[in-house]
Amino acid sequence: MTNTEKQHGSPAAMGGARPTRQRLAVARVLEGHDDFRSAQEIHALLVDSGEKVGLATVYRNLQRLAEAGEVDVLRTEDGEAAYRRCSESHHHHLVCRSCGRTVEVEGPAVERWTDAVATEHGFSDISHTLEIFGTCQNCS
C-alpha cells in the first residue's frame, strides 16, 4: 500500500467514496505539486504519467476531494477553479498573478473581522475563504 493510499485511501478521506485507481492517482498528483493546478493541468499530468483517465473523471474526483476537505479550491481572477492539497489548519492564500506562486497565510485580523460582521448581522456557524492576488517579489 502506498503512502497516498494509507493517508487518503479510506472512504472518509475520499469524500465518502471508494478509493478508486483514478481517485488515488489524482491525490498523488496533488501531493506532488505545491502550487494550485487546474483540472485540465491535473488531467494532462495524469495522461503524461500513463494514467488512462478522462477529464470528467478528474473533475468528479476533485469535487469529491474538495467536499471531503482534502483539497483547497481557489478561484483564479478569471474564474477558473484551481486545486491544491493544503494544510489542515484554516488559512488564506497570497497568489501571484504572474507565476501562480501561492503562499499560505494566517489572518487573525480577518478572523476577528468575519466574526464581528457575522455577529453584527445575527449570523452563526460561519465559514469563509480569502485569496489575495498580487505580484510576487520574483515577478515584480
∠ Cα 82 87 93 (to 5°):
50
- Which range has the top average pLDDT, 39-53, 87-101, 118-132? 39-53
In a domain, 140, yes or no: no
CATH number, residue 42: 1.10.10.10
- Same domain? 80 vs 114: no
Domain with 57, as residue range(s), is 3-84
Residue set of the binding site: 90, 96, 99, 111, 128, 136, 139
Q: What is the pLDDT of residue 137?
A: 95
Residue 29 to residue 45: CA distance in whole angstroms: 7
Residue that is written with C-alpha cell 510576487 in the block: 136
The answer on 97 and 79 residing in a single domain is no
Annotated binding site for Fe cation: 90, 111, 128
* Cβ neighbours for 4, distance < 8 A, ≥ 6 positions apart: 24, 27, 28, 31
In this model, does residue 120 exceed pLDDT 90? Answer: yes
Residues 45 and 25 in one domain: yes
Provide the grid cell at 101.
506562486
- Judge if 18 and 72 occupy the same domain: yes
Q: Which residues are annotated as a binding site for Zn(2+)?
A: 96, 99, 136, 139
Residues 18 and 39 in one domain: yes
Domain total for the chain? 2
The answer to whether residue 139 sits within a structural domain is no
Rounded Cα distance, 79 and 75, in Å:
5
With respect to residue 56, please indicate whether it lies within any of the assigned structural domains: yes
Tens digit of each residue's pLDDT (9 = 90 or more) over 70-109: 888 988 878 899 998 876 667 788 888 888 888 888 888 8
| Per-position DSSP letters for 26-91, written without gaps between them | HHHHHHT-SS-EEHHHHHHHHHHTT----HHHHHHHHHHHHHTTSSEEEE-TTS-EEEE---SS--
Same domain? 49 vs 67: yes
**Domain assignment present for 100:** yes
Q: Residue 17: inside a domain, yes or no?
A: yes
My answer on whether 56 and 98 are in the same domain is: no
